[in-house]
């Protein structure tokens, strides 16, 4: 039977990920042609009308962008405190895109923006160990035993242990420049780890998320991610998920 699985159809509309779509279907929040559907494998055709929480949905074309976040902007679409957000730097037609993960106000670098709910879920789900690479500097000399401590784990909050792999790029008596790779998504993870060790971050820039890199972008600039790069990213995620 030709058609599309209902959860994929819902995810392709940008409403949520497939996993969340399954929950909506099971909870009776989905109607197809006016009838409630709770079967996860249900197939819909092009002429079928699908409603989620009484709202008609339509599949939309998935868009994928790289964005170089400057310092001073928060990673959200709206802020109650009136602070500048990344959407102040984006054209209105890209407001439908959501960031994959976050960078705090003072951090810079790569954000992947997309309306592909499945991809967002796969890149951010705790069970999938996706590497995120940062260039970080502090204004003091750090030592090998501290890098080893970061790799072994630091409890940054009660019950939350953070891990980081560090490669030293430059070090002298006045500063340390390093490449830090994370496989977690804890809030302000790098800053909290370094604060625990007694250091203050002077600059923090994300340069890579999974297979997508910052190279070729200027601060505040955004560019579409090429289809071949998206294919490589999804192939990478499939390999990573096999090892979960």
On whether the CB atoms of residues 213 and 236 are closer than 8 A, the answer is no
Spatial CA neighbour of 181 closest among 143, 136, 128 = 136
pTM metric for this prediction = 0.82
Same fold for the pair 64-126+211-242 and 132-209: yes
Look up tokens 């203050």; give the residue: 200
CATH T-level assignment (fold) for domain 64-126+211-242: Alpha-Beta Plaits (3.30.70)
pLDDT at 82: 80
Name the superfamily (CATH) of residues 4-57.
RNA-binding S4 domain (3.10.290.10)
pLDDT at 167: 97
Max Cα distance, the chain (Å): 70
Please classify residue 128 by burial: count the beta carbons closer than 10 Å to its beta carbon, then call 0-12 exposed, 13-18 middle and 19+ buried. Answer: middle
Domain ranges of the chain: 4-57, 64-126+211-242, 132-209
pLDDT tens sequence across 42-96: 999 988 999 999 999 988 889 999 999 999 999 987 777 788 999 999 999 999 8
**Cα separation, 162 vs 183, whole angstroms:** 9
Q: Can you tell me whether residue 105 is helix, strand or coil?
A: coil
CATH number for 132-209: choose from 3.40.50.970, 3.30.70.1560, 3.40.109.10, 3.40.50.300: 3.30.70.1560
pLDDT at 244: 63
pLDDT at 117: 83
Which are the catalytic amino acids?
104
**CB under 8 Å to 197, separation ≥6 — which residues?**
142, 146, 149, 150, 154
pLDDT at 13: 83
The sheet with strand 50-52 has its strands ordered as 35-36, 30-32, 50-52, 55-57
On whether the CB atoms of residues 178 and 166 are closer than 8 A, the answer is yes
**Cα separation, 14 vs 24, whole angstroms:** 14
How large is the C-alpha radius of gyration of the chain?
21
**pLDDT tens series, the chain, 244 aa:** 468 899 989 988 878 888 889 999 999 999 999 999 999 889 999 889 999 999 999 888 899 999 999 999 999 877 777 889 999 999 999 998 999 999 999 999 999 999 888 899 899 988 889 999 999 999 999 999 999 999 999 999 999 999 999 999 999 999 999 999 999 989 999 999 999 999 999 999 999 999 999 999 999 999 999 999 999 999 999 998 877 6
């Amino acid at each position: 039977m030709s058609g599309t699985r209902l959860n994929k159809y819902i995810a392709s509309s940008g409403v949520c990920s497939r996993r969340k779509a399954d929950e909506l279907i099971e909870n009776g929040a989905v109607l197809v042609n006016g009838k409630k559907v709770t079967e996860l494998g249900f197939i819909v055709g092009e002429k079928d009308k699908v409603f989620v929480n009484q709202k008609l949905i339509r599949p939309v074309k998935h868009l994928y962008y790289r964005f170089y976040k400057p310092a001073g902007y928060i990673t959200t679409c709206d802020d109650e405190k009136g602070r500048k957000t990344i959407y102040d730097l984006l054209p209105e037609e890209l407001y439908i895109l959501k960031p994959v993960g976050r960078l705090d106000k003072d951090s810079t670098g790569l954000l992947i923006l997309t309306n592909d709910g499945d991809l967002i879920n796969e890149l951010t789900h705790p069970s999938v160990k996706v590497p995120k690479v940062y260039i970080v500097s502090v204004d003091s000399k750090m030592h090998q035993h501290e890098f080893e401590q970061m790799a072994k784990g630091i409890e940054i909050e009660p019950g939350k242990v953070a891990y980081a792999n560090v490669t030293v790029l430059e070090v002298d008596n006045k500063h340390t420049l390093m490449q830090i790779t994370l496989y977690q998504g804890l809030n302000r993870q790098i800053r909290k780890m370094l604060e625990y060790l007694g250091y203050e971050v002077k600059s923090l820039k994300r340069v890579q998320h999974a297979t997508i890199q910052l190279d070729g972008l200027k601060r505040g600039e955004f560019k579409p991610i090429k289809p071949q790069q998206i294919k490589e990213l999804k192939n990478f995620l499939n390999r990573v998920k096999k090892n979960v």
